[in-house]
Amino acid sequence: MKIEADSNDITEHRHDGKPRPYLCTVCDKQFAKKRYLTEHKQTHNVDKVYSCTQCEKRFATQDSLRKHMNVHSSKYKCTESGNCFSSNRNLTVHRQSHSGEKPFECTVCSKRFNKSGNLVTHSRIHSGEKPHKCPECDKTFSQSGHLNRHMRVHTGDKPYKCSLCDKRFSRSGSLQGHKHYVHGNRRPYDCRYCEKQFKGSKELKHHVYIHTGAKPYSCRHCSDCFRQIGQLKTHLLKSHNEGTWFTCHICQKKFSEKSDFKAHLLCHEGVKPYVCSECSKSFFTESDMKRHQLKHSDFKQFCCGSCGKYFKYKCTVKRHFSRCSVKLGYKPIF
């Protein structure tokens, strides 16, 4: 644990002007006195037994939970953005984003930051330092938050649960996006080539590739190009043996995608966890269930890149696009 710093490393606190030379290498927090750092280190060595009843987030101490509850009670709420914070200090820091105040400057590239911790993290871009190491696979990270999210790959922990459908997520941002786009039913992204709308910018970007025929992901071993990064990863694994296969221990069948591997294991167990809300028919995978649910609705989500006509199923629009492109003199891009 690094607890000392050179005089050049001492960062002035943004509120009281006190130097804080004692740095926690787990979460990058800085302290004015060594005993404060010692007390803080204990929070990383205990189980998080105090759970929030609103979002199921867990904390090591009751005081941490009490501060977190201020977020739900809106005690410290920004009047400009509506964001809520656990303390007045965090709210004050947030307000700097509206005022544009950035008192901390990088001595290498002169980039400025509103938080001293952000400057510490940024400085590792220049030094290449990655002090946070995964105990499972020895992978290193420059930020403790990145390590914490990475650990969920090994533990399978998904602490963020949607209150509307009980679906769980490993990141809070994924949960917020899920609520906003899935339950909010908003499609703010419009395609400039047709009238189709999308919930996310990534969905729109991949859709535009259908119109333009662009394949931005190229293989570094051969001349093959792909429209999606997942297609490139599968190609690297199957054609160039670069990556990791997921092998079924029962039938030895191999899979390039972890999601397909998990769905295959359910076939051996006979478990069909995805149930149609309309007819109660069950399925092994969520994609199979969503495909089935199209039978119960008139929603057509797949658009022909040539004529703009919509279809329920991807396989149908592929066949139509091939015929439509030939008529219009275009080369099929599927």
Residue 24 placed within a domain:
no
| pLDDT at res. 70 | 87
CB count within 10 Å of CB 223 equals 6
Residue 178 placed within a domain:
no
Q: What is the pLDDT of residues 194-217, one digit of tens each?
A: 777 777 777 788 888 878 888 888
| pLDDT at res. 211 | 82
Residue 282 placed within a domain:
yes
Q: How confident is the model at residue 184 (pLDDT cuts 50, 70, 90)?
A: low
Q: What mean pLDDT is predicted for residues 28-32? A: 73
Question: Residue 12 pLDDT more than 50?
Answer: no
Question: What CATH number does the domain containing 254 carry?
Answer: 3.30.160.60
Residue 174 placed within a domain:
no
Nearest to 24 by CA among 103, 131, 112: 131
Number of structural domains found in the chain: 1
Give the residue carrying structure tokens 């149930």. Answer: 275
| pLDDT at res. 244 | 79
Residue 279 placed within a domain:
yes
161: amino acid identity, one letter? K
Residue 258 domain boundaries = 248-297
Give the residue carrying structure tokens 């509103």. Answer: 114
Direct distance between the N- and C-terminal alpha carbons of the chain, in angstroms, rounded to an integer: 54
- Whole-prediction pTM value? 0.36
Residue 233 placed within a domain:
no
Q: How confident is the model at residue 77 (pLDDT cuts 50, 70, 90)?
A: confident
| pLDDT at res. 20 | 66
Are 130 and 141 contacting, i.e. CB atoms less than 8 angstroms apart? yes
Q: Which residues sit opposite 247 in a β-bridge?
A: 254
**Tokens standing for residue 169:** 């997520």
Q: What is the pLDDT of residues 264-309, one digit of tens each?
A: 887 887 777 778 877 878 887 777 887 787 777 766 666 676 666 7
| pLDDT at res. 329 | 43
How much is the CA Rg of the chain, to the nearest whole Å? 25
Residue 238 placed within a domain:
no
Residue 259 placed within a domain:
yes
Question: Residue 254 pLDDT more than 50?
Answer: yes
